[in-house]
């Protein structure tokens, strides 16, 4: 098993582990941000370049440093490798540059964006962005389009992470959308505005790190931090049926898959990602459709992660008594 040292923390990892995965095992500050990599989607990663790190020692056998920063999500560790992330100022500078590139054409219309509060780009710019944009030209814009009656594509906010394309390829029956055009006018598109309509397409919303793909059934209903996320499950013949309900009072405003601290869908069973089907996501919007397990702790540093309501001692979760939940949730 190769040993790798990242920002001074040494860890032994299984063969084939990437630097990013190793850093996640160590946890904390050592972990580079990743906007396009998604461990549950094959061939994801490598595009956004936010996870770049500096390899100061290649391996025990070949200790030469790597000449350029490498994408940690796509570089496997070698025994004796030494990596710098937060401890290398020049690397942080390079990453800030990547973040600036991601932002120059981004609308930053967070106040009217459904993703705000759980947006990875917001987090990223908070940590690595400049307070003022140096970009003075007109920003790129696209028309908003509806892809099917449940999903809204707001291409202007897309960072071309390719995750939704991989979901369509790997989770859905057929892929009816992809990337068209090239360079800075490349766009996610369904070609001839074909509706994306198959049982698992809704997962594209969950993997989208920004507000480019949003749930039309939740659109403008609430700021996400005003909702109470609850773990819930139901018997579903199509998917694992394990979800998070974003509730307001007795109302289920939105249903999503369960996401871990990296924003990725949790495994429903060992090695099986808990993707949920469109029926659970879009059709089951009543409390009676679900068995509520309890409040969901959201382990991320964005607004929604405040989990303020968890502290309220008198919030007791009585699964048999939905009415009580309703009252408490209103607090």
Give the residues lining the site for another protein (CB under 8 A).
45-50, 52, 67-69, 71, 74, 94, 97-98, 100-102, 104-105, 134-135, 137, 159-160, 162, 178-179, 181-186
2 binds, among another protein, ligand SF4, none (CB under 5 to 8 A by kind): none
Q: CB of 240 within 8 A of CB of 274?
A: yes
Q: Per rule CB under 6 A, is residue 115 in the interface with ligand SF4?
A: yes
Interstrand relation of 81-84 and 52-57 (parallel, antiparallel or unpaired):
antiparallel
CA 329 to chain centre: 26
Q: Which is nearest to 180 in space by CA: 198, 197, 192?
A: 192
22 binds, among ligand SF4, another protein, none (CB under 5 to 8 A by kind): none
Q: Is 283 helix (H, G, I), strand (E, B) or coil?
A: helix
Q: Per rule CB under 6 A, is residue 121 in the interface with ligand SF4?
A: yes
φ, ψ dihedrals at 300, nearest 5°: -135, 160
Neighbours of 31 (CB within 10 A): 22
147 binds, among ligand SF4, another protein, none (CB under 5 to 8 A by kind): none
Q: CB of 59 within 8 A of CB of 66?
A: no
Bridge partners (DSSP) of residue 265 are 259
What are the start-end ranges of the H helices in 73-212?
A: 89-104, 120-128, 163-170, 203-207
251: which residues sit within 8 A by CB, 6+ positions away? Answer: 285
Q: How far is the CB of 118 from another protein (least distance, A)?
A: 21
Q: Which of 13, 77, 161, 257 binds ligand SF4 (CB under 6 A)?
A: 161
69 binds, among ligand SF4, another protein, none (CB under 5 to 8 A by kind): another protein
Q: Per rule CB under 6 A, is residue 147 in the interface with ligand SF4?
A: no
Q: Which of residues 201-230 bind ligand SF4 (CB under 6 A)?
A: 207-213
- Which residue matches tokens 């029956």? 173
Q: Per rule CB under 6 A, is residue 304 in the interface with ligand SF4?
A: no
Site stretch for ligand SF4 (CB under 6 A), options 91-99, 153-161, 247-255, 286-294: 153-161
Q: How far is the CB of 26 from another protein (least distance, A)?
A: 24
Which chain residues interact with ligand SF4 by CB under 6 A? Answer: 106-110, 113, 115-116, 119, 121-122, 157-164, 188, 207-213
């Amino acid at each position: 098993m190769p040993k790798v040292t990242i920002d001074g923390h040494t860890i032994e990892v299984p063969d084939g582990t990437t630097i990013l995965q190793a850093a996640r095992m160590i946890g904390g500050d050592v972990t580079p941000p990743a906007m396009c990599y998604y461990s549950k989607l094959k061939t994801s990663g490598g595009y956004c370049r936010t996870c770049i790190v500096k390899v100061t020692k290649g391996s025990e056998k070949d200790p030469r440093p790597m000449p350029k920063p490498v994408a940690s999500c796509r570089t496997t560790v070698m025994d004796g490798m030494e990596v710098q992330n937060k401890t290398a100022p020049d690397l942080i500078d390079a990453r800030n540059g990547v973040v600036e590139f991601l932002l120059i054409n981004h609308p930053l219309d967070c106040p009217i964006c459904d993703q705000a509060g759980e947006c990875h780009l917001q987090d990223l710019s908070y940590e690595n962005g400049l307070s003022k944009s140096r970009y003075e030209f007109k920003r790129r814009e696209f028309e908003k389009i509806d892809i099917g009656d449940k999903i809204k594509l707001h291409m202007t906010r897309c960072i071309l992470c390719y995750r939704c394309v991989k979901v369509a390829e790997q989770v859905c029956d057929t892929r009816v959308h992809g990337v068209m055009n090239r360079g800075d006018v490349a766009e996610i598109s369904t070609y001839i505005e074909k509706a994306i309509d198959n049982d698992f397409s809704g997962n594209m919303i969950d993997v989208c790190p920004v507000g480019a793909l949003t749930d039309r059934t939740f659109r403008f209903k609430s700021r996400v931090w005003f909702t109470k996320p609850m773990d819930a499950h139901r018997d579903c013949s199509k998917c694992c049926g394990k979800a998070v309900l974003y509730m307001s009072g007795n109302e289920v405003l939105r249903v999503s898959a369960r996401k871990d601290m990296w924003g990725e869908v949790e495994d429903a069973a060992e090695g099986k990602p808990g993707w949920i089907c469109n029926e659970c996501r879009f059709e089951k919007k009543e409390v009676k459709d679900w068995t509520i397990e309890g409040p969901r702790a959201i382990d991320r540093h964005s607004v929604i992660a405040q989990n303020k309501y968890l502290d309220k001692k008198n919030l007791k979760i009585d699964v048999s008594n939905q009415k009580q939940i309703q009252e408490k949730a209103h607090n």
